Amino acid sequence: MTTTDKVTDKAASPRLERGLGLKEAVALNMIEIVGIGPFVVSSLVIRAMGGPQALIAWLMGAVLATLDAFVWSELGAAMPKAGGTYVFLREAYGPEKWGRLMSFLFVWQTLVQAPLSVASASIGFAKYAGYLYPLTTRQGKFISGGLVVFIAFLLYRRITTIGKISVLLWIGVVGTIVWLIWGGMRHFDAKLAFDFPPNAFSFSWIWFAGLGSAMVNSIYSYWGYYNICHLGSEIRDPERNIPRGIFLSVLGIAVLYLAMQTSILGVVPWREAQTSDFIASLFVERLYGHAAARVVTAMILWIAVASAFSVLLGASRVPYSAAQDGNFFRVFGRVHPTKHFPHISLLFLSGLAIIFSMSLTLSQAIRGILAMRLIVQFIGQAVGVMLLRKRRGTQRLPFKMWLYPVPAVLTMVAWGWLFWQTGQMRKGLAGIALGALAFLIRAREVRQWPFASLPSTVDSRQPGIPS
C-alpha cells in the first residue's frame, strides 16, 4: 500500500461525530447521576446518621461534587476527547512516561468499575422490582442480567439517536423526582421531618464515622456529573458546553436530592424509613395508596435503566480512546462502519456487567466502585490539574478553576477520607498493584517506557536525526 493509499484509507475510516449539544449533555449527566442510587441508599444514609441529620450527608455530597466539578471542567474543556480521564491522566503526567502508567491504570480499572456501575443499577432495578412482584434470588439475578442486555441493545446505534433517547429518559427521571417532591410538599410535617434524636449533632468521632459511612452512599448517588467528559469527541462546542453541562447537572441534582429527601422525611418517620427497602414506594403509598406506589416504582425502574444507559455509553469510549492511542488492545479501537460508535468496547463492557450483575450484591458493587476509582481517577486528576498548570500555564485554558488550587486540594483530602471509609482499601490498592504489574509486563513486551532503549524508540527518519 502506498503512502497515498494509507492517507485515503485513514480518511475514509469511520470516526466519532459531534452530535451532542448542551441539552443532551445535561440530560446524559443527570440520568447517570440519579439512577437507582438515591432510592436504594436513602435508608442506608438515614441509618448511618441515626436521624434526619442524614440531610447533612446529602448536602456534603453536593459540596464535594461541586468542588470536584472544577477539576473536571478545567480538564474537560481543555481536552475534549473520547475517553475523558484516560486523556487527562496521560497528558497531565506526561504521555511518554508516567502518563502512560496512570492512563493505563485508569483503563484497567474501567474494565472493572464501569461494569460494576452498570451492575449496581441493574441489581438495584431487580431489588426495587420486588415491590411490584416478589422475586426469588435466582429470578432477581436473571432480571439484572437481562436488563444489561436490553441497555446494550439501546446503545447499539448512532450518537445522534442516543442523544434523543437520553432526553426522553431524562424527562422520566426529572418527572419522577418532581412528583415525589410535590407530594411531599403538600403533605409535609415539619415536626416529623426534623424529629432529631438526642446527640444528633454531637460531632464526636463516632458522629464523623457515621457521616463517612453515609457519604460513601450519598456520593455514589452524585457520581455521573462528569459523564460528558468521556464523550468529549462527540460534544458540540465542548469548551463551553462541558463546563456548563457539569455545573448545571450538579446544581440541578443537588436541589432535587435535598428537596426529595426532606419531603420523604416529612411523610415517613425516619425510624421506619431507615429499615425500608422501598422507601420511595412506601412514601407514595402513604400519600396516594398502593396503586400510585406501583406507578412510582415503575418510574424508579425507568430511572435505573436511564442511569445504566448513560454509564455504559460513557465508559465504552475509554478503552476505545486507549486503543486509538496504542496503549491498549487494538480491537477496542474499532468503530462501527455505519453507526460510528466503538462497538467492540461496548460489547465487552456489557459482557462483564452481565457477569457482575448476576454474581454480586448491591453493597458489594457500590463499595467496589469507590475503592476502584478514588485513588487513580479522582485524586489522580486533582493532582494532574496542578501538574498541567505548572507545565503548560493557563493562557490556553478555555475554563479556569475558581480559587485555584483550593477546590483541587479539598477534593484530594475528601476523596482520601472516603477511600478509607469504604473499608475496601486493601482491595483498592491491590487492584492498582495488579494494574501496574500488567502495565510493566506489556511495556516490556512492546519495549515501551520504562523498558524502551533510545535506539528502539527514536525514529531515525525524523528531521535532524541521522539515520
Of 72 and 452, more confident: 72
Asked if residue 467 has pLDDT above 70, the reply is: no
Print burial letters for 306-330: b (CB count within 10 Å at least 16), e (below 16): bbbbbbbbbbbbbbbbbbbbebbee
Per-residue pLDDT tens for 373-421?
899 999 999 999 999 999 888 988 999 999 999 999 999 999 999 998 8
Q: Among 43-57, 162-176, 229-243, which stretch is predicted with the lowest mean pLDDT?
A: 162-176
| 3-state SS string for the chain | CCHHHHHHHHHHCCCCCCCECHHHHHHHHHHHHHCCHHHHHHHHHHHHHCCCCHHHHHHHHHHHHHHHHHHHHHHHHHCCCECCHHHHHHHHHCCCCHHHHHHHHHHHHHHHHHHHHHHHHHHHHHHHHCCCCCCCHHHHHHHHHHHHHHHHHHHCCCHHHHHHHHHHHHHHHHHHHHHHHHHHHHCCCHHHHCCCCCCCCCCCHHHHHHHHHHHHHHHHHHCCCCHHHHEHHHECCHHHHHHHHHHHHHHHHHHHHHHHHHHHHCCCCHHHHCCCCCHHHHHHHHHHCHHHHHHHHHHHHHHHHHHHHHHHHHHCHHHHHHHHCCCCCHHHHCCCCCCCCCHHHHHHHHHHHHHHHCCCCHHHHHHHHHHHHHHHHHHHHHHHHHHHHHHHCCCCCCCCCCCCCHHHHHHHHHHHHHHHHCCCHHHHHHHHHHHHHHHHHHHHHHCCCCCCCHHHHCCCCCCCCCC
Give the model's confidence band at 229: pLDDT under 50 very low, under 70 low, under 90 confident, else very high. Answer: very high
Asked if residue 9 has pLDDT above 70, the reply is: no
Q: What mean pLDDT comes out for the span 256-274?
A: 93
Q: What is the pLDDT of residue 17?
A: 79
Q: What mean pLDDT comes out for the span 217-232?
A: 88
Asked if residue 163 has pLDDT above 90, the reply is: no
Q: Which of 422, 424, 428, 411 is nearest to 61 (CA)?
A: 411
Q: Locate 145 and state its grid cell.
A: 442480567
Helices 238-265 and 279-288 cross at an angle (nearest 10°) of 60
Q: What is the pLDDT of residue 13?
A: 56
Asked if residue 22 has pLDDT above 60, the reply is: yes
C-alpha count within 13 angstroms, C-beta hemisphere, residue 340: 16
| Full-model pTM | 0.82
Asked if residue 210 has pLDDT above 80, the reply is: yes
With a pLDDT cut of 70, the percent of the chain lying above it is: 94
Asked if residue 4 has pLDDT above 90, the reply is: no
Q: What is the pLDDT of residue 270?
A: 94
Per-residue pLDDT tens for 298-330?
988 888 888 788 888 888 888 888 888 887 778
Residue bearing cell 494494574: 435
Q: Which of 414, 158, 425 is nearest to 166 (CA)?
A: 158
Q: What mean pLDDT comes out for the span 56-63?
A: 95
Per-residue pLDDT tens for 73-89?
999 999 998 888 989 99
Q: Among 9-18, 42-51, 202-211, 220-229, which stretch is predicted with the lowest mean pLDDT?
A: 9-18
Q: What mean pLDDT comes out for the span 117-146?
A: 90
Right CATH for 20-457 from 1.20.1740.10, 1.20.1340.10, 1.10.8.870, 1.20.120.1200: 1.20.1740.10
- Work out the mean pLDDT of the chain and round it to a whole number: 87
Q: What mean pLDDT comes out for the span 240-256?
A: 94
The residues pairing with 20 across neighbouring beta strands, listed in sequence order, are 235
Would you call 95 helix, strand, or coil by DSSP?
coil
Q: Among 51-60, 334-343, 344-353, 430-439, which stretch is predicted with the lowest mean pLDDT?
A: 334-343
Q: What is the pLDDT of residue 60?
A: 95
Asked if residue 167 has pLDDT above 90, the reply is: no
Count of all residues that appear for the chain in the document: 467
Q: What is the pLDDT of residue 432?
A: 92
Would you call 264 helix, strand, or coil by DSSP?
helix
